[in-house]
Amino acid sequence: MKYKVITITREFGSGGRTIGRELADKLGYKFYDYELVKKAAEESGMAEEYVKDHGEDANGRSLLSFMWNNAGGSISDLLYIAQRKVINQLADEGNCVIVGRCADYILKDRDDVFNVFIYADEDFKEKRIVEKYGERPDSPKKRVEDKDKRRIAYYKYYTGRKWGDAKNYQLSINSGEVGVDKVVLTILNLL
């Protein structure tokens, strides 16, 4: 197959991680999400919990607050560099699906990478996060908004790119409209 790496950029609650895992299963590829966290933790010397919480979410809901908090280099930058190194190594090894962490941008100069963006309508995402992660004190609406804003700010800061710009991916698809299983089939057919 032409594509040795598949990256999944996803909105919180869109089912992107599930889609990535099923794709990896079907293709016999390795799946990197928490595994990548572990490797980045080893590479950076930071705690897994820290990497998990700060490896793709800004520590503030806006780009401006993230830039302000992050001014002059910071632990976040060191973590980004460690993750970038791990992601490049994983891509060199090949045959893997990588979820999140700006992998689409980090691997943009390779021609064996298929980049997918998964998103969904608000209702779908809010319902899904409650099913997956349970109730929390904050409303589902606030949880989705908050998480996505942090991800968008992080992505903008480290890539300079606009989140969800179709042209950064070979495929962008609304998983809420189409259904998670059909998204997996669609990607498999395209590969």
What b/e sequence results for 121-151 when a residue is b if at least 16 CB atoms lie within 10 Å of its CB, and e otherwise? eeebbbebbeeeeeeeeeebeebbbebbbbb
Q: Which two tokens stand for residue 76?
A: 């976040």
Nearer to a second copy, 70 or 115 (CB): 115
Q: Which stretch binds a second copy (CB under 8 A): 31-39, 64-72, 131-139, 174-182?
A: 174-182
Residue in this structure with the two tokens 């790496």, named with its chain if needed: 5
Residues in 97-136 that interact with a second copy by CB under 8 A = 117, 119
Within 10 A of 65 (CB to CB), how many other CB atoms are there? 14
- For position 159 contacting a second copy by CB under 8 A, the verdict is no
CB of 177 to a second copy, least distance (A): 5
DSSP-assigned letter for residue 32 = E
CB of 137 to a second copy, least distance (A): 28
Separation of alpha carbons 3 and 147, rounded Å:
30
- For position 182 contacting a second copy by CB under 8 A, the verdict is yes
Instruction: Give the β-pairing of 96-99 and 5-10.
Output: parallel
Return the residue of 67, 81, 130, 178 that touches a second copy, per CB under 8 A.
178
Nearer to a second copy, 51 or 129 (CB): 129
- For position 1 contacting a second copy by CB under 8 A, the verdict is no
Residue 94 region, left (φ>0) first, then alpha (ψ -120 to 50), else beta? left
Q: Which of 179, 176, 156 minimizes the C-alpha distance to 168?
A: 156
Return the residue of 5, 79, 96, 173 that touches a second copy, per CB under 8 A.
173
Q: Which stretch binds a second copy (CB under 8 A): 49-57, 61-69, 82-90, 173-181?
A: 173-181
Residues that bind a second copy (CB under 8 A): 117, 119, 162, 164-167, 169-174, 177-178, 182, 185-186, 189-190
